[in-house]
Structure 1
Amino acid sequence: MKNTYIKALLATAAFGLFACNAEQQTDNSKPERQEAAAPNIILLIGDGMGVPQVSTAYYFGDEQSNFSEFKHIGLHRTADVTHKVTDSAAGATAFSTGEKTYKRAIGVGADSLSRETILEYLQTKGYKTGLISLTTITHATPAAFYAHVTDRDMHEEIAFQLSEANVDFVAGGGRNFFGKRSDGKNLYKSFLGKGYHLDTVALSTPEFDKKNIFLLADESMPAKIEGRGEFLTEATTNALSYFSNNESPFFMMIEESYIDWGGHDTNKEMLISEVEEMDKTLGLVLDFVKKNPNTLLVVTADHETGGVSLGKYLTKDPKTGRMKEDPTQTEVYFDTDQHTAELIPVFAKGVGAENFQGIYENNEIYHKIRMVVDEK
């Protein structure tokens, strides 16, 4: 009886040991969890675009604005380290480096030393990169993502730094700073020597197995009301097609530049037409995000321009000579032809969009993007 009990006990222990070993073997045989794919990042900047400019899309647009697609909306404060009212250079540098800097600075901190930009950081993570602008591609906003200079007007140096930056897709103006330089250098040869597809005549189909650069104006592109055509939407479509044909994640900055210029010129027609162009471009990008949900889209501006407001539309009564309101219309008013210190809207959609709600400093946009990228 005693021997039978011992045998049963040993058998039970052996079975338990076997079960543990079997469980360990089963656990060890499980495949490791796959890391989530790195998200695409699209930063769409409407230079000079505050809440009143966005509002024109609702009062002057022909269709429902694409801005209505956003559920995650915030505001950012634009002041730089030297001025309460910032410029595009310091504003874009805050986005690109995560640090506030001084007015006119490009890709450098308050100490004038270079800072790594979000574009440069993501290149080290295997990202493809792209830049689109209606201005010269050496202008303050696009330059802040690849260049490091102490003053925004150093266009030839900025152009040289672009030739060394290995950006995969570039579209904008600025031919004069690449081919007609005071130092005699021909930066076109530099791009071609690095295998770029270069076009200075037309927005041709990008070559998917090469880097691409399109420089289609001596300096900035014309305004929409001056006959620019569909450059911004077509360049955005081409860029999204290019990145879709590459397996790597991508970072792209797109700038609608002329909302700012409409404010500087206090030109209502220019401002409205450029916001409409921004809205169309936004629609294209939103379609991409819907089809590619592992994408973060952030839409914002570096500052507001013009002190714009929307108010009563007044006309003169031909009988009395008095001003009277037309209740069926609204008017665009400008308080200044300069930048202002208004808080700027931030619209986000896609992976990590919830991080962009609230009110925060402009340089936090960099850190919020990094949060999304680094947790993947």
Structure 2
Amino acid sequence: MIHRLNKSIAVKIISFLILTLFVNACSSQKVASTNDIKSVQEDKPLNIILMIGDGMGVSQVSSSYFSKETEPNFSRFNTIGLIKTSSGSHLITDSAAGATAFSAGKKTYNGAIGVDIDTLSAENIVEYLSNKEYATGLIATSSITHATPASFFAHVKSRGMAEEIASELPSSQVDFFAGGGKQFFFNRKDDKSLYNEFVTNEFTIDTLSLEKSQPLSKSKKYGFLLSKDAMPRMDQGRGDFLLNATELALSYLNKNEVKGKNGFFLMVEGSQIDWGGHNNDSEYLKKEVLDFDKTIGRVLDFAEADGNTLVIITADHETGGYTLASDNGDYNKIKGSFSTGGHSATLIPVFAYGPGEANFSGIYENTEIFEKIIEMVNQQK
């Protein structure tokens, strides 16, 4: 009888312990899940920097590992993805459709600047974020009216309409821009100057020089137009324009007193990587990639120190069908070679660093760059 009672008590005790462990496990799992959700929700950036190496595929990135004496800044990223780049009209995109995918989240036709496939204006990320009191900036080593930067402020049916594109910049919601293209603003075919339009819209325009440490008032807007058309090539004396313009933009946009209380958005384009590919000129291409990588390093330094900045590095497409092949069969010598003078359909790398970087791993459509950024912005309190 006593044995049976003890056995009964033992069974009850064991059952109780099992139930307690189960309840505790469930509670722990619930807490863990809650913490995970909280962690994900808090993993959102304040500032967003999108860097576009026009025409930069995997081989272009790889070239920096054989052309630079130190480790390229691409190695500082742990989160890497791939995007599909076909446009709404062609399997192989051009820069206009590729940039519109980033700027407005739309698959559109080749040649389109900020419009959808039906030529209707598509709200771009600069407009969307400006309405949420973000400060915004655009930098390019091309003319600022060229396909990629233009897609972040203009809405025209064809990338060739440079003067029409230029006409939209003074009244746009861009706060800072730097690049070339003076002829499309001041020495136009229609004999019109856009200087008064810039002044009316509170822009200070500099056509002479840009210094990374020059003081800028955060109550004003700034534009730097430093060449007639594109900026010079790196091997023709451009120097540190891209680096200096980016540093100046970061100091100006960060915590901008007028519009930047919710953060800033900055697009930086290494435009001429693409042109080296079109020219089938490996040396031109590599020098442009190294200049872009140098600027990536400065941006990553800023993001690491800031702690609230997401950095995304990608490209609109690959140009040249570029590859790093052996030179005359010698496996100790590398020669850049090309399969086309145009673009290719290869998948394009995406490198991400900072709050929300995990969202950019995997393989996805180029329009998702826009969608992922907007989703994170909309999660902000």
TM bin, normalised by shorter chain, reads: 0.7 to 0.9
> In the alignment, residue 222 of structure 2 is paired with which amino acid?
N
> Residue 220 of structure 1: which of 216, 230, 245 is its match?
230
1:286 partnered with 2:300? yes
Alignment of 1:124-139 (within 5 A): 124-139=131-146
Q: What value does the CA root-mean-square deviation take over the aligned residues?
A: 1.6
Secondary structure, in 3 states, of the residue corresponding to 1:345? Answer: strand
Partner of 2:18: none
Alignment of 1:332-343 (within 5 A): 332-343=336-347
Secondary structure, in 3 states, of the residue corresponding to 1:310? Answer: strand
> In the alignment, residue 118 of structure 2 is paired with which amino acid?
D
> Residue 301 of structure 1: which of 306, 315, 326 is its match?
315
Partner of 1:268: 282
After superposition, give the CA deviation of every residue in 1:241-297 in whole Å (9 maximum; x if it has no partner).
112352521101000001100000011110110110011000000001101111111
Paired with 1:195 and 1:82, the residues of 2 have a C-alpha distance of 38
Paired with 1:168 and 1:301, the residues of 2 have a C-alpha distance of 23
Secondary structure, in 3 states, of the residue corresponding to 1:253? Answer: strand
Paired with 1:350 and 1:92, the residues of 2 have a C-alpha distance of 22
- List, as ranges, runs of 4+ consecutive aligned residues in structure 1 with deviation greater than 6 Å: 35-38
Paired with 2:54 and 2:208, the residues of 1 have a C-alpha distance of 26
Gap runs ≥5 in structure 2: 1-40
Partner of 2:333: 329
What is the CA distance between 1:129 and its match in structure 2? 0.4
> In the alignment, residue 309 of structure 1 is paired with which amino acid?
T
Partner of 1:92: 99
What is the CA distance between 1:167 and its match in structure 2? 1.1
> In the alignment, residue 360 of structure 2 is paired with which amino acid?
F
Q: Is the contact made by 2:126 and 2:173 (CA closer than 8 Å) also made in structure 1?
A: no
Paired with 1:187 and 1:311, the residues of 2 have a C-alpha distance of 48
After superposition, give the CA deviation of every residue in 1:308-330 in whole Å (9 maximum; x if it has no partner).
1111123xxxxxxxxx51x4331
After superposition, give the CA deviation of every residue in 1:77-101 in whole Å (9 maximum; x if it has no partner).
1101111111000000001111100
Partner of 1:114: 121
Identity %: 52
> Residue 217 of structure 2: which of 208, 215, 223 is its match?
208
Q: Compute the TM-score of the two structures, normalised by the length of structure 1.
A: 0.86
After superposition, give the CA deviation of every residue in 1:325-357 in whole Å (9 maximum; x if it has no partner).
1x4331111111110001000001111100000
What is the CA distance between 1:175 and its match in structure 2? 0.3
Paired with 1:48 and 1:200, the residues of 2 have a C-alpha distance of 28
1:47 partnered with 2:61? no
What is the CA distance between 1:38 and its match in structure 2? 6.3
Secondary structure, in 3 states, of the residue corresponding to 2:185? Answer: helix
Q: Compute the TM-score of the two structures, normalised by the length of structure 2.
A: 0.85
Paired with 1:136 and 1:192, the residues of 2 have a C-alpha distance of 20
Deviates more, 1:193-202 or 1:203-212: 203-212
Paired with 2:141 and 2:319, the residues of 1 have a C-alpha distance of 17
Q: For residues 185 and 48 of structure 1, do their structure 2 counterparts lie closer, same or farther at Cα, with a shift above 3 Å needed? A: same
Partner of 2:266: 252
1:67 partnered with 2:94? no
Q: Is the contact made by 1:77 and 1:361 (CA closer than 8 Å) also made in structure 2?
A: yes
Q: Is the contact made by 2:45 and 2:376 (CA closer than 8 Å) also made in structure 1?
A: no
1:242 partnered with 2:252? yes
What is the CA distance between 1:226 and its match in structure 2? 1.3
Secondary structure, in 3 states, of the residue corresponding to 2:290? Answer: helix
Paired with 2:298 and 2:270, the residues of 1 have a C-alpha distance of 14
Paired with 2:379 and 2:137, the residues of 1 have a C-alpha distance of 22
Q: Which has the larger radius of gyration?
A: 1
Partner of 1:18: none
After superposition, give the CA deviation of every residue in 1:54-112 in whole Å (9 maximum; x if it has no partner).
00011111110100111111000110111111100000000111110000000000111
